[in-house]
């Protein structure tokens, strides 16, 4: 069980060792297996003759009562226990003239009975009671966890007489640290030293959790085999998980001898079904504490576990209440904020205090907003992308980010610790908290890198040195406490409610805006449609009156001409409004658009406006785009017409139209050297009826640029304006270069 090919990792072999079916027991006691109903003996240790005073013949199985016990009621008492349903039996019996401690427990293969001679000079009940009472008085004083551990070490050593008693606490990674010690000086002190997880492998920790006290009376014993080797009830090795006498791994015996200990006893400290630590006893010579003493030590171990659990729960509850008050304050501030990001930015102090972090960030829509000490925004965004691949349900926490994310090594100084909660299941959106690196020196009881090795034959050996070995621990932060994790989890729930509420508000507002837009469009269409005829009539009647009354005074003809021009202008305005309102409902007929041809059509349409004008045209490359040809022509016409209009009065007008192809879009520019505009008013350019020049100077309805922008928006593009007074203006807009699926709804 401890041999392996030299190519196999010794630690892996040790981790696979099935120590609960060792096939033998320690020689200071004897073991017998009987069937639960007939009490038929089916398996026994080879040393029964030595311990019990008579051999147990398993080759000719007989009932337990048939063995020569010369008993004092042992068999009836055992049968009564078997019928009771109690899990364990323990009593001292006088068998064949000697006192024997008998313990029994139920197993799937039968009832396992174990016999240990009761040595003379056993501790008296009064002495045991006095020691236990003294320990209980310590626990009632409100002692801290370190004080409880020191008291446990002192009282256990007083009861057992071991040379050294340690209290050993497991860390989250199952490395152990000695937090208390009591000794007589014959063995070296291990106080505050750490020991690697490989010293107590996983299967050993599992047994410590289920069988809370284990004694190894002598490290140089020879295991006593069971006869037969396999249990006849199922043909498998006997499961000795709960056996008091179970023989231990030879590797562990080597480990004890390398430590200079001839005997050991371990008492498990189990809290909430998890192995918290051990009370570990060592002696320089073989030692076998009596069953009564071991029971008293087990009682101390259980009291220690309860007291530590109570104190840790109280500390966690106190911390949880403190963090909950911070959470309540932070959520209240968020409720008053317009967005999650702004709310967190305005509440940086409670945001960090919520989990006792050094820095924090919220990542949403590709933007990282930070507070406190954090990595750069680019790395935070990369971290969010990596977290998205981890399929996090509610929370992710680590105190060594560099060990799980390679780029974390670059930011260990500010972000060795990470606590993250997702706020979207679709996008890489997270709330992150960071902790700085906590550089510290750890002292080990021997070099953990040499925990176990294999010899040339493949036999495993534990390390031989337990001298202090110091290690500088880098790239690790203070671990996140359970209260901090709970605080982050509950805050996530509040944030999700906040996001949901804001989403519902936005959805409601969107519905209202869409309804209002439809109503406005319908109203605009109705008004525009109804006004077109009256304006045409006004212009027509003014023309007829002028023709019917040629004798009118020149001033009267001037008035009639003004009426006609105003009616025509108003009619044009109505037509533009009608066009603008219809655009919101128009279905886009998307296709490839030849922009060279479109530009030729635009220039042809403007011929009447170009008579008598000296305009220098610079028509550059115009790549094709993807859109509704009619609407694209309208947008380009409006921009070019604008350039023609506002270069009037310029001695040498220049109008440049060009395009550049990008990855997914084409960028077009219409520029001129006209009157330009003040960039301070750039925001008004694309609004309906907004004009930056007087009507008397430049004709128009003030809708052309707004119409062009709506067309570009409906195609999913953008439009920007740039100008300088007296120098000129340029308009740059984008259109898709290829199909991108369904067009956007009206902006």
User: What is the arithmetic mean of pLDDT over 609-630?
Assistant: 86
What is this structure's pTM? 0.62
Considering the domain architecture, whether residues 590 and 732 belong to the same structural domain is answered as yes
Confidence of residue 698 (pLDDT cuts 50, 70, 90): very low
Confidence of residue 279 (pLDDT cuts 50, 70, 90): very high
Q: Which of 555, 577, 599 is a domain's end point?
A: 577
Quick check: 246 and 22 in contact, CB under 8 A? yes
Please choose, from the candidates 341, 421, 347, 342, the residue with its C-alpha nearest in 3D space to the C-alpha of residue 384: 421
Considering the domain architecture, whether residues 651 and 518 belong to the same structural domain is answered as no
pLDDT value of position 534: 77
CATH number reported for the structural domain that contains residue 96 in this entry:
3.30.450.20
Considering the domain architecture, whether residues 570 and 636 belong to the same structural domain is answered as no
pLDDT value of position 702: 59
User: What is the arithmetic mean of pLDDT over 266-275?
Assistant: 93
Is the model's pLDDT at 700 over the cut of 50? no
Quick check: is 96 in a domain?
yes
Q: What is the 3-state secondary structure (H, E, C) of 33-99?
A: EECCCCCEEEEEECCHHHHHCCCCCCCCCCEHHHCCCCCCCHHHHHHHHHHHCCCEEEEEEEECCEE
Considering the domain architecture, whether residues 687 and 620 belong to the same structural domain is answered as yes
Quick check: is 87 in a domain?
yes
**677 or 119: which leads in pLDDT:** 677
pLDDT value of position 343: 85
pLDDT value of position 690: 52
Considering the domain architecture, whether residues 604 and 541 belong to the same structural domain is answered as no
Contacts 24+ apart (CB under 8 A), 374-383: 374/414, 374/415, 374/434, 375/411, 375/414, 375/415, 375/434, 379/407, 379/410, 379/411, 380/432, 381/428, 382/407, 383/407, 383/408, 383/418, 383/432
pLDDT value of position 271: 93
pLDDT value of position 695: 44
The first and second tokens of residue 511, run together, are 């519905």
Considering the domain architecture, whether residues 732 and 636 belong to the same structural domain is answered as yes
Which of 62-66, 227-231, 330-334, 336-340 tops mean pLDDT? 227-231
DSSP SS3 for 277 = strand
Residues 6 or more apart whose CB falls under 8 angstroms from that of 483 comprise 316, 319, 320, 323
The first and second tokens of residue 715, run together, are 């195609």
Considering the domain architecture, whether residues 668 and 700 belong to the same structural domain is answered as yes
Containing domain of residue 593, as a range?
A: 586-736
Is the model's pLDDT at 451 over the cut of 60? no
Is the model's pLDDT at 522 over the cut of 80? no
User: What is the arithmetic mean of pLDDT over 215-231?
Assistant: 93
CATH number reported for the structural domain that contains residue 701 in this entry:
3.30.565.10
Quickly count: other Cβ atoms within 10 Å of residue 441's Cβ: 8
Quickly count: other Cβ atoms within 10 Å of residue 172's Cβ: 7
- Mean pLDDT across the chain: 82
pLDDT value of position 501: 61
Which uninterrupted H or E stretch holds 417?
Answer: strand 417-422
User: What is the arithmetic mean of pLDDT over 165-193?
Assistant: 91
β pairing state of 615-619 and 653-661: parallel
Please choose, from the candidates 690, 722, 736, 456, the residue with its C-alpha nearest in 3D space to the C-alpha of residue 588: 736
Quick check: is 140 in a domain?
no
Q: Which of 538, 556, 577 is a domain's end point?
A: 577
Phi, psi angles (nearest 5°) of residue 115: -125, 125
User: What is the arithmetic mean of pLDDT over 26-40?
Assistant: 93
For 39-64, how does the pLDDT look when each residue is reduced to its tens digit (9 = 90+)?
Answer: 999 999 999 999 998 888 887 778 89
The first and second tokens of residue 86, run together, are 């109690």
Quick check: is 157 in a domain?
no
Quick check: 590 and 743 in contact, CB under 8 A? yes
Q: Which of 525, 545, 577 is a domain's end point?
A: 577
For 415-435, how does the pLDDT look when each residue is reduced to its tens digit (9 = 90+)?
Answer: 999 999 998 888 888 999 999
Phi-psi region of 352 (alpha: psi -120 to 50; beta: other; left: phi over 0): alpha
The tally of CA atoms less than 13 A away on the side-chain side of residue 314 is 9
Considering the domain architecture, whether residues 601 and 501 belong to the same structural domain is answered as no
Confidence of residue 574 (pLDDT cuts 50, 70, 90): low
Considering the domain architecture, whether residues 726 and 604 belong to the same structural domain is answered as yes
Phi, psi angles (nearest 5°) of residue 562: -65, -40
Considering the domain architecture, whether residues 88 and 55 belong to the same structural domain is answered as yes
The first and second tokens of residue 447, run together, are 């070099």
Q: How far apart are CA 415 and CA 344, in angstroms?
A: 19
Quick check: 671 and 619 in contact, CB under 8 A? no
Residue 237 class from Cβ within 10 Å (0-12 exposed, 13-18 middle, 19+ buried)?
middle
User: What is the arithmetic mean of pLDDT over 297-306?
Assistant: 92
Torsion of CA 173, 177, 179, 183, to 10 degrees: 150
Quick check: is 572 in a domain?
yes
Quick check: is 340 in a domain?
no
Considering the domain architecture, whether residues 569 and 644 belong to the same structural domain is answered as no
Is the model's pLDDT at 141 over the cut of 70? yes
**10 or 333: which leads in pLDDT:** 333
Please choose, from the candidates 53, 61, 50, 58, the residue with its C-alpha nearest in 3D space to the C-alpha of residue 26: 50
Confidence of residue 365 (pLDDT cuts 50, 70, 90): confident
Quick check: is 489 in a domain?
yes
Confidence of residue 606 (pLDDT cuts 50, 70, 90): confident
User: What is the arithmetic mean of pLDDT over 317-321?
Assistant: 91
Domain count, the chain: 3
Is the model's pLDDT at 589 over the cut of 70? yes
Considering the domain architecture, whether residues 685 and 562 belong to the same structural domain is answered as no
Quick check: is 64 in a domain?
yes
């Amino acid at each position: 069980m401890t041999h392996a090919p030299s190519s196999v990792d010794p630690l892996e072999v040790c981790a696979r060792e099935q120590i609960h079916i060792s096939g033998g027991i320690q020689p200071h006691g004897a073991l017998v297996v009987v069937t639960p109903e007939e009490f038929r003996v089916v398996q026994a240790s080879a040393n029964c003759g030595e311990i019990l005073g008579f051999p147990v013949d398993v080759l000719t199985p007989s009932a337990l009562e048939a063995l020569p016990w010369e008993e004092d009621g042992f068999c009836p008492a055992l049968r009564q226990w078997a019928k009771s349903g109690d899990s364990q039996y323990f009593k001292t019996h006088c068998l064949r003239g000697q006192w024997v401690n008998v313990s029994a427990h139920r197993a799937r293969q039968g009832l396992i009975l174990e016999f240990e001679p009761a040595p003379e000079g056993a501790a008296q009940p009064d002495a045991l009671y006095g020691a236990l009472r003294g320990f209980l008085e310590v626990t009632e004083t409100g002692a801290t966890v370190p004080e409880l551990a020191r008291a446990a070490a002192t009282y256990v050593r007083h009861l057992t007489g071991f040379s050294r008693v340690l209290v050993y606490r497991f860390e989250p990674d199952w490395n152990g640290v000695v937090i208390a010690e009591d000794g007589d000086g014959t063995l070296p002190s291990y106080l505050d030293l750490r020991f690697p997880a490989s010293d107590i492998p996983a299967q050993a920790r599992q047994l410590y959790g289920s069988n809370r006290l284990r004694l190894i009376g002598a490290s140089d014993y020879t295991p006593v085999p069971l006869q037969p080797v396999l249990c006849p009830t199922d043909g498998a090795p006997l499961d000795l998980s709960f056996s008091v006498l179970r023989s231990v791994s030879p590797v562990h015996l080597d480990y004890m001898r390398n430590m200079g200990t001839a005997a050991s006893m371990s008492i498990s400290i189990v809290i909430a079904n998890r192995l918290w630590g051990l009370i570990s006893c060592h002696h320089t010579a073989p030692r076998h504490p009596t069953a009564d003493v071991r029971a008293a030590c087990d009682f101390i171990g259980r009291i220690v576990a309860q007291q530590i659990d109570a104190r840790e729960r109280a500390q966690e509850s106190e911390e949880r209440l403190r963090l909950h008050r911070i959470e309540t304050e932070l959520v209240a501030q968020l409720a008053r904020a317009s967005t999650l990001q702004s709310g967190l930015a305005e509440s940086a102090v409670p945001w960090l205090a919520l989990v006792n972090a050094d820095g924090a960030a919220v990542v949403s829509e590709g933007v990282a907003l930070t507070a406190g000490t954090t990595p750069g925004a680019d790395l935070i965004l990369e971290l969010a992308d990596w977290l998205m691949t981890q399929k996090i349900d509610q929370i992710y926490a680590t105190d060594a980010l560099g060990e799980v994310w390679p780029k974390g090594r670059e930011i260990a100084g500010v972000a060795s610790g990470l606590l993250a909660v997702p706020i979207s299941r679709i996008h890489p959106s997270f709330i992150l908290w960071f902790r700085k690196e906590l550089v510290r020196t750890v002292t080990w009881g021997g070099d953990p890198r040499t925990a176990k090795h294999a010899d040339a034959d493949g036999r495993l050996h534990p390390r031989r040195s337990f001298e202090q070995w110091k290690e500088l621990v880098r790239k690790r932060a203070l671990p996140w406490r359970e209260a901090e994790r709970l605080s982050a989890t509950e805050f996530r729930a509040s944030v999700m409610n906040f996001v949901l509420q804001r989403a519902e508000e936005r959805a409601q507002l969107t519905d209202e805006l869409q309804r209002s837009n439809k109503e406005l469009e319908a109203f605009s269409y109705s008004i525009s449609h109804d006004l077109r005829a009256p304006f045409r009539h006004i212009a027509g009647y003014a023309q007829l009156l002028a023709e019917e009354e040629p004798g009118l005074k020149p001033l009267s003809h001037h008035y009639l001409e003004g009426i006609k021009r105003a009616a025509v202008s108003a009619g044009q305005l109505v037509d533009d409004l009608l066009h603008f309102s219809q655009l919101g409902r128009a279905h886009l007929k998307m296709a490839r658009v030849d922009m060279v041809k479109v530009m030729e059509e635009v220039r042809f349409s403007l011929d009447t406006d170009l008579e008598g004008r000296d305009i220098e045209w610079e028509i550059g490359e115009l790549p094709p785009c993807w859109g509704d040809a009619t609407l694209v022509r309208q947008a380009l016409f409006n921009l070019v017409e604008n350039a023609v209009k506002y270069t009037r009065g310029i001695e040498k007008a220049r109008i440049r139209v060009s395009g550049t192809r990008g990855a997914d879009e084409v960028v077009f520019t219409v520029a001129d050297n006209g009157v330009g505009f003040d960039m301070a008013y750039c925001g008004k350019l694309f609004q309906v009826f907004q004009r930056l020049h007087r009507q008397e100077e430049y004709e128009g309805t003030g809708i052309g640029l707004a119409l062009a922008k709506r067309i570009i928006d409906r195609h999913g593009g953008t439009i920007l304006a740039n100008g300088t007074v007296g120098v000129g203006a340029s308009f740059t807009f984008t259109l898709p270069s290829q199909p991108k699926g369904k067009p956007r709804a009206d902006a």
